[in-house]
Structure 1
Amino acid sequence: MTEALILSAACFVAAFCAGMAGFAFVLVGAGLLLHLLPPATTAPVLVMGSFLVQSLALRAVWRHVDWPRLRRFVLFAVPGLPLGVWLLATVPARPMTAGVGALLVVYSAWMLARIGLRLPAPRVAGGPAADAGVALASGVLGGIGGYVGALPGMWADLQGWDKEATRGLLQPFIVAMQALTLPFLALGGFFTREALWLTAAALPAMVAGMLLGLAAFHRLPQGGFRLVLLALLLLSGLSLLV
């Protein structure tokens, strides 16, 4: 019972963050839950939870979706999923997740420092090839533990997208990738009775957190949204390093 309550509290916080920024449910949840549950249990709980709460909020961003870019991201992320699941099941994935965590910490800290110093944000011109690389790496991280949103979130910030465009990519991309990750986790034997029960127990907290986060998102100005995005990238990176 105590374990379920702690899980629900962690999922509420993760869902609230995801409701505000459109991503980070898995990364925030993992940072809180990996101290309580083993990775093999945490991964399916967080992937199922992320899929459910992000699906509920899709209607809020539907008209902002850039469909050609979304299709490109999904297409190139799919090959990374089985590789990530294989890494999770057969080799220590810690060095890879720690490397991504370090990248997120350095990037977000640098960007937050530039905001504090009132320096303009640098911009990087993207393109199909760059999108494909980011998507492939995100697919690998999705297979490892559902960490599909952080790299696209960083990529969106680096290109200076507004909050609607950012969320219009992140949220449907995460839903699509989690929907594809779930069967791989099932085939890998990760959907135990305990994982399913824990997900069901935490669902009300997830829904409440997502709804409150969505309300906050609609009230955030563009500058405030970027601060939230960078803060969650920093938190996500730290959670992968701890």
Structure 2
Amino acid sequence: MTAELITFLLLGALAGGFINGLSGTGTALFALGFYLVVLDPVTAVAIVSLMSVVAGFQGLWVVRTAIFDNPKRLLRFVLPGLVGVPVGVWLLAGLDATILRYGVAAFLIIYGAYFSFRAVLPAFERPTPVVDSCVGGLGGVLGGATGMSGALPSIWMSLRPWTKFETRAVLQPFNMVMLMTTIGLLFSQGAYDADAVRAILITVPTGLVAAQVGIAVFKRLTNTGFRRLLIGLNFVMGIGILISELTKVG
């Protein structure tokens, strides 16, 4: 391994691990920017997916009580999401993924910019099991078609008046299940070769340490502060997706 490769792997692991510990989502956005400089796209996605899942177990431990307090809420998102992933993969053959990503990016930017500057956030307090299931299913479809499974769930959860532990108890397990599905598909395609394993030996330990720092910051956030963090991350994700697509076009 070259010094350049190791440097970019470490930087990506630090950025991705920290945001994983802080919010439970957005890992790929912050890590792939570094990984794609020195790795091919398939290997980069394979590495960041595995790092996200391994580091994510630390976040699950932090919110374990909230998960077991309301497992039905989590299942309302996860089960439709699992159904949605293969649907998204199937639709990918007939969809223009680039146009879809542009649309999602525009929505994230408008949504994030609008709600970031509102003094009072909206709060959907009543139970919405049907909407929850639809959001989970659509998140799975987007994950299969574009790799953005967490976009819609994070938007919806940022509008719910749940505590930060309740929100993360749904968002992080949802993302991890979708990522584990991705890992299985990539493994079957031979993505985890010797080069990927060597990179993983660097990124996973670094990501684990960085996630602990993120978790420490998460514990200091207020419930409203965490909701605003998710909204801000959606805005940043929208900008990141837009830049990546414009770069491809250029």
Give the drift of 1:224: 2.6
Residue-by-residue CA offset, 1:144-172 (whole Å, 9 max, x unaligned): 56533232111111223221111111112
Alignment correspondent of 1:175: 176
State the 1:132 CA deviation: 1.9
SS at match of 2:149: coil
1-structure distance, mates of 2:121, 2:228: 12
Alignment of 1:6-155 (within 5 A): 6-65=8-67, 66-85=70-89, 93-114=97-118, 118=119, 120-124=120-124, 127-144=128-145, 146-155=147-156
Unaligned residue ranges in structure 2 (runs of 5+): 244-250
Query: 5+ unaligned residues in a row in structure 1: which ranges?
Result: none
Change (3 A) 1:226 1:43: same
Matched residue type, 1:20? L
> Which AA in structure 1 matches 2:40?
P
- Residue identity matched to 1:103: F
Partner of 2:215: 214
Equivalent residues of 1:153, 1:170 under 8 A apart:
yes
**How many angstroms apart in 2 are the aligned matches of 1:4 and 1:85?**
32
Provide the C-alpha distance between the structure 2 equivalents of 1:35 and 1:92, rounded to a whole number of angstroms. Answer: 25
Superposed CA offset, 1:86-112 (max 9, x none) = 567897532222222221111111111
Structure 1 46/97 Cα, relative in aligned 2: closer, same or farther at 3 Å? farther
Partner of 1:184: 185
Alpha-carbon separation, structure 2, partners of 1:150 and 1:137: 10
Check 1:50–1:85 CA distance in 2 against 1; reply closer, same or farther (3 A cut).
farther
2:130 is paired with a residue whose SS is helix
Distance 2:113 2:33 in 1: 18
Number of aligned positions between the proteins: 238
Equivalent residues of 1:81, 1:181 under 8 A apart: no
**Percent identity of paired positions between Structure 1 and Structure 2:** 32
Residue equivalent to 2:229 = 228
TM-score, normalised relative to structure 2: 0.84
What code does the residue aligned with 1:111 have? F
SS of equivalent residue, structure 1 residue 121: coil
Question: 2 CA distance for matches of 1:168 and 1:162?
Answer: 10
Question: In the superposition, relative to structure 1, how do residues 222 and 11 fare at CA in structure 2: closer, same or farther (>3 Å)?
Answer: same
* Distance in 2 separating the partners of 1:202 and 1:178: 16
The answer on whether the counterparts of 1:87 and 1:93 sit within 8 Å (CA) in structure 2 is: no
Does the 8 A contact of 2:112 with 2:232 survive in 1? yes
- Specify the code of the residue in structure 2 equivalent to 1:169: V
In the alignment, is the contact (CA less than 8 A) between 1:108 and 1:233 conserved in 2?
yes
CA shift, 1:188, in A, is: 3.5
C-alpha distance in 1, partners of 2:96/2:188? 19
1:64 alignment partner AA = A
Alignment check: 8 A CA contact 2:122 2:159 kept: yes
Q: Report which structure shows greater RCO (CA 8 Å, sep ≥6).
A: 1
Q: Which residue of 2 aligns with 1:4?
A: 6
Instruction: Confirm or deny that 1:156 pairs with 2:157.
Output: yes
Q: Which amino acid aligns with 1:15?
A: G
Bigger drift between 15-24 and 91-100 goes to: 91-100
